Amino acid sequence: MLFLLSPAKSLDYDTPVPEGLSHTTPQFVPQSTALIEVLREQSPQQIASLMELSDALAALNVARYQAWRPRFTATNSRQAVLAFNGDVYEGLQARSLSADDLGWAQSHVAILSGLYGVLRPLDRMQPYRLEMGTRLATEAGSNLYQFWGRQIAEHLNTRLRADTTPVVVNLASQEYFKAVDRKALKARVIECVFEDWKGDGYKIISFYAKRARGLMARYAITHRLATPHQLEGFDLDGYAFAPASSEPERLVFRRKSAPSA
C-alpha cells in the first residue's frame, strides 16, 4: 500500500536535523526547475494576487524562488518530512520515528506537492509556497493540474509495481488528490475519513481531521500496514473504526471527544 499526504504551508528550517539521517533527491527536479523559472517571472504583487498572500509573505516567497537551485544540499534544503510543520505533521511526529520507521515510510508514503509533484519523506526539499490549486499558467496549461497531467499517477504506479493488488490510501486533501489522474492510476483507492462528535452528531472538523491523517500515517508506519483490512485497527487519540458508517473504499473513524492537551 502507498499512503498519500498533503504538504503543509508552515515550514520548519530552524530545528536541527537529527545527525546521520539519510536523505534522497526529489524525483521531479526538471519539472520543479521549470516551475521555478515561471515563478521567477512574477513580481511580488503578482505573487500576492495569484496566491492570495500578504505583501510580506509574497516577498518572502519571491526571495525563495530566487534562491532555489536544482542542486539540493544540507545548507539549502532538508528532508521533506521534517521541513513540513502543519497539522498533519504534528500528528505524524516524524522526529520521534526510528530510522527503520523512516526507511519503511520512504517506500510507503508519498507527499503530493505543487512544486515537487511527489516527495518521498527523506527527499531533500528547499522552502517554497505553491499550492496545487494555484492557477499558475505554464506551457502545459492554465493551472498546476494541467502541468502535472499524468505524471504523478504514473509515478505512483511505478512505486506500486511490485504489489500484487496495488492500493493507494488517500490521506491527502481533495485539492491535492485531484492532481492524481484517476484514469491513469492502476490502483484501488481507499479514503480515510475522521469525524468528531460536535453538538448533535459526528462531523469532520478540519483541524482534527488533518491531524488524524498524520496519526493514521504514523500508525501505518509503526505497524507496517500491508492490507486495507489492517487500517481498521487504527486507534490513536481515541479514534475507532465505525463499520456501520463505512464503505469498502471509504473508511470512517470516529471519536466522542478529543484528548485534553
Handedness of CA 8, 56, 61, 134 (dihedral sign): positive
Which segments of the chain have a pLDDT < 70? 260-261
Task: Report angle CA 175, 11, 236 to the nearest 5 degrees.
Answer: 70
Q: pTM for this one?
A: 0.96
What would the pLDDT profile of 158-211 be if each residue is shown by its tens digit? 999 989 999 999 999 999 999 999 999 999 999 999 999 998 999 999 999 999
Query: Which residues, 6+ apart, have CB-to-CB distance to 15 below 8 Å?
Result: 82, 95
SS3 202: strand
Provide the 3-class DSSP secondary structure of residue 87.
Answer: helix
Q: For residue 89, give the C-alpha cell.
A: 505533521
* Burial 207-220, CB ≥16 within 10 A → b, else e: ebbbbbbbbbbbbb
